[in-house]
Amino acid sequence: MKWILLLLMFFPWLTTAQTEGFHFQNSSRKEVIPFQLINNLILIPAIVNGAELTFLVDTGVAETLLFSLEEKEVQLYEVEKVKFSGLGGSLEIEGLKSVNNIVQIGRHYKDFGHTIYVILNEDFNFSSHVGVPVNGIIGYHFFKNHPVKIDYINKKITVYPPEKPPARERRISTAIPISLELNKPYLMAGIEQTTDRKKSKLLIDLGNSDPLWLFPGQIPGFNYSTPHIDDFLGRGFNGDIYGKRSRIHRFWLAHFKFEKPLMAMPDEASIQHLRLVPGRRGSVGNEILRRFALLIDYPQEKIYLRKNKNYDDAFHLNMSGLDIKHDGMFWDQDLVKVNNPTPREAQNASTVTVSNEFRYRFTLKPEYSVAGTRAGSPAHEAGVRKGDKIQRINGHKAADLKLEDIMSLMKSEEKTKITLEAERNGQLMKFIFYLEDPVPYKE
C-alpha cells in the first residue's frame, strides 16, 4: 500500500530503543493536550515518525493501532506480519507489527520505542462513522506511566508527572480502585437491572460511546429487559457488531447513581473471539464517563471522579433508527451576492459602482449516505433505506451540517419531526417521520 513506507532492518540506526513508554522530554510540570469530543469519542493529534495523525483515545485497547491513513505517508520501523482477532464476526484479520517508532503527543510527551500494529483491512475505517479523519487508536501506553486527567467540559487532557501527582484533584474527587488486567483497566460497579443491585466487573472503555455494555452470557440468570430492540452497535476489528439495546433500572459508580441508563448487549457471535478476563460482565463507556472530571491513574491503580455539568443529562439514543456515514467531500458552489458600498463609503469615494451581481464561491463540503436502518424504526417505516444519499434534513442542506450535528438531532427529543430528502437511483425522495424512543423503561 502506497501510504506506508516500511523501513526494515536495512537501517539499523533507527532501531535503538529508548526508555520504555511515554515520558516528558523536559522538566515540564505537565502536558496539556486539546481534544475533539465527537459522538462521545476522544480524538487527539499525534505525530508518528514525523507524520501528523489523529488518534482515538481508548482504554479498551492494549496496543496502539494504525489504519485508514488515506493519502498520508508514514514511516514504520522493523515490520513483521501478524494477525488480529476481536469484536466482530470473523476470526482473524491480517496486519503488521512495527517496533521502535517515535510517537509524540503534545509538545513534550514522547515515546521513542513505540510498538504499532497496522490493520490492513481497508473496511476497518472509523472516519466515515465519526465524520472526521481518524488514523488510529492509542490506549494502554498513553496512560501507563502517568496520571491523566480528562476534562470533558473544556476538552483538554492533562498528563502529570508521576512524581508530582495532582493532589487537589485527588482531594476533591471520589477515588475508585481499578485493576489492570491484560493492560486494560477494570472497576467494580453496581448494576440494577430491575431492583437487586449486583456487583459487576466492567472494563473502563473510553472508546465506547454508549453508557453501558453487558455480556448476557457472562451473567448468571440474565434476563433481557422489556422492551428491547435489535440494533447495530458499532464496528470491531473483524466487522460490524450487532446485538440488543434496552434500559436498566439503575447504575452505580461508588455513590454516584444513574437512573434508567441505556444498555447495549452484543450478541454471542460478536464476542466469541474476544479474550475476556475472569469475572468481566461488560463495559462502562463514555456516555457515563463524560459526566465527570475524570482522573485516570494507572501507576496507583485508581480513578478519581468529580461531577461536572453533564452529570444530570438524560440518556438519549438515536431514535430515528438511521445509521449515517460520511462518504467524503465534494466541491459545492454557493451563490454569493457582491456587496455594494455603504452610504458613507459612497460619500467618500470619487467613483461608485453599484452592482446586483452574484458570484459563485466553491467550497469543499461533506456527503452523507444511509449505512443502514433499524427494522421497525421511524426512518425505516417512512421508507428510508440503506444507500440513500442524504440531501437535506429539516430544510438544511446536509452538506452544511457536521455528522455530529445530524446525530445530535436524531438523539434530541421524542416527537421531534424529521423531514429528510434523499437521492435514490437518481430520483429525489422526501421522507417525514417523528422520533420515538423504542426502549422506554418499564417497571
C-alpha cell at 316: 438519549
From CA 315, how far away is CA 171, in angstroms rounded? 29
pLDDT at 441: 76
pLDDT at 442: 74
State whether 152 and 211 are in the same domain: no
State whether 132 and 194 are in the same domain: no
Q: Is residue 343 part of a domain?
A: no
pLDDT at 351: 46
From CA 161, how far away is CA 144, in angstroms rounded? 12
From CA 140, how far away is CA 103, in angstroms rounded? 14
State whether 11 and 125 are in the same domain: yes
Sequence-separated (6 or more) residues with CB below 8 Å from residue 212: 191, 202, 248, 251, 261, 262, 263, 264, 282, 283, 284, 285, 288
From CA 246, how far away is CA 441, in angstroms rounded? 8
Supply φ then ψ for residue 377, to 5 degrees. -75, 165
State whether 149 and 225 are in the same domain: no
State whether 123 and 175 are in the same domain: no
C-alpha cell at 355: 452592482
The ranges of the chain with pLDDT < 70 are 1-19, 70, 85-92, 122-123, 125, 237-239, 273, 329-365
pLDDT at 212: 95
pLDDT at 388: 94
Q: Is residue 96 part of a domain?
A: yes
Tell me which residue range forms the domain holding 116: 4-159
From CA 425, how far away is CA 255, in angstroms rounded? 54
- Beta-ladder partners of 207: none
State whether 78 and 155 are in the same domain: yes
State whether 111 and 221 are in the same domain: no
State whether 121 and 171 are in the same domain: no
Q: How many residues does the chain have?
A: 443
Q: Is residue 314 part of a domain?
A: no
Q: Is residue 347 part of a domain?
A: no
From CA 215, how far away is CA 191, in angstroms rounded? 12
Report how many domains make up the chain.
3
Residue 365: DSSP 8-state: E
State whether 116 and 213 are in the same domain: no
Q: The domain that contains 409 carries what CATH number?
A: 2.30.42.10
**Beta strands per DSSP E along 164-279:** 174-177, 179-181, 184-192, 197-204, 212-214, 229-236, 239-247, 250-253, 256-259, 262-266
State whether 173 and 126 are in the same domain: no
Q: Is residue 49 part of a domain?
A: yes
Beta strands 292-297 and 109-119 are: unpaired
How many beta carbons lie within 10 A of that of residue 251, not counting itself? 26
Q: The domain that contains 92 carries what CATH number?
A: 2.40.70.10
Helix/strand/coil for 212 = strand
State whether 144 and 174 are in the same domain: no
